[in-house]
Amino acid sequence: MSERQERNKGQELMPAAFIGHGSPLNTLERNRYTAAWRVLGETVPRPRAVLVISAHWYINATAVTAMARPRTIHDFFAKVPKLDDIQYPAPGLPELAEQVAEVVKPRWVGQDYDAWGLDHGTWSVLAHMFPAADVPVVQLSINATKPWDYHLELGARLAPLRRQGVLIVGSGNIVHNLRKVRPSMGEAGYDWARRFDDGARTVMLDDPTEVAALAAHPDFAAAAPTPDHFIPLLYLAGLAGDASRTADVLVDGYAAGSLSMTAYTLDAACPPAPAGGGGAAALPDHLDPEDINV
């Protein structure tokens, strides 16, 4: 056993999660989804740091933010006044960036000192989980050039960080098809969206290591026409596989027909999601969903 393993032996195992984040306008709302995120933040042990795999840092490399003060990124293609003013001034943790690079060897992870920061896939969720922005946050990019097995394995390799006080959070949406968004559907989901979301639930609750088989699901092409929002789930599945455990549903539902808001936890003893509270934030009527980079 290495010195680091010996030092971390017996430390509390930090939970992990996947959050279906939906519209960034959820940052500003109190609804049943954001209430569940708040309960999660209040339930988990106080983290040393949060490591987030966000759908919105989808690049051709594997990188980790290594700056002491990550900026709040308003990664929208159109001006959204209520969101453009939001700041989430959580500190970074360069030491954690180095640890990520160490635990995933022989996989290579680059250190990002100034290019990125905290995108809305991260701050829209953490604004509810840790509203004081007093927990350090580091982001891990999604390498768009890699197959699903790479992400599943990388998730498993991150497992030792859970005994070092790191809360690992994937942020995306299991069903995410912006071209099929229909705001008039409210909290309803298309039949194909529900079928795929149900298929993902079966895998996550029975055997998360089989998550890659969802690529063959007959509704996958409609549910995930681009993989960026689905891939963060693979990191939670990898962690679950490493722990030989299954995930639990934190909260579930749909927004605008083609967005699944389902969230999962691993080793988090959360109370049931609050009843009522309303659906997920609606998308702005005057903007194309792609313009706010949902």
**CB atoms closer than 10 angstroms to residue 242:** 19
β partners of residue 263: 251
Contacts of residue 41, Cβ cutoff 8 Å, sequence gap at least 6: 128, 129, 130
Contacts of residue 24, Cβ cutoff 8 Å, sequence gap at least 6: 76, 80, 83, 120, 124, 292, 293, 294
Between vectors from CA 48 to CA 155 and to CA 233, what angle results, nearest 5°? 25
Between vectors from CA 220 to CA 216 and to CA 226, what angle results, nearest 5°? 120
Whether 28 and 280 have beta carbons less than 8 Å apart is answered as no
The pLDDT value recorded for residue 290 is 60
Sign of CA dihedral 141, 130, 23, 223: positive
The pLDDT value recorded for residue 76 is 76
**293 dihedral zone (left: phi>0; alpha: psi -120 to 50; beta):** left
Residues 111 and 18: their CA atoms lie apart, in Å, by: 24
Query: For the whole prediction, is pTM greater than 0.75?
Result: yes
Q: Note down pLDDT in tens along the chain; length 294 residues.
A: 333 333 344 478 999 999 999 999 999 999 999 999 999 999 999 999 999 999 999 999 999 999 999 999 998 766 777 888 999 999 999 999 999 999 999 999 999 999 999 999 999 999 999 999 999 999 999 999 999 999 999 999 999 999 999 999 999 999 999 999 999 999 999 999 999 999 999 999 999 999 999 999 999 999 999 999 999 999 999 999 999 999 999 999 999 999 999 999 999 988 876 666 777 766 666 556 665 666
Walk me through the domains of the chain, giving residue ranges and CATH numbers: 3-292 (3.40.830.10)
Q: Take residue 161 and report the two structure tokens written for it.
A: 């960080």
Q: How far does the chain reach from its first CA to its final CA, in angstroms?
A: 44
The pLDDT value recorded for residue 286 is 54
Residues 92 and 118: their CA atoms lie apart, in Å, by: 9
Residues 10 and 155: their CA atoms lie apart, in Å, by: 21
The pLDDT value recorded for residue 261 is 97
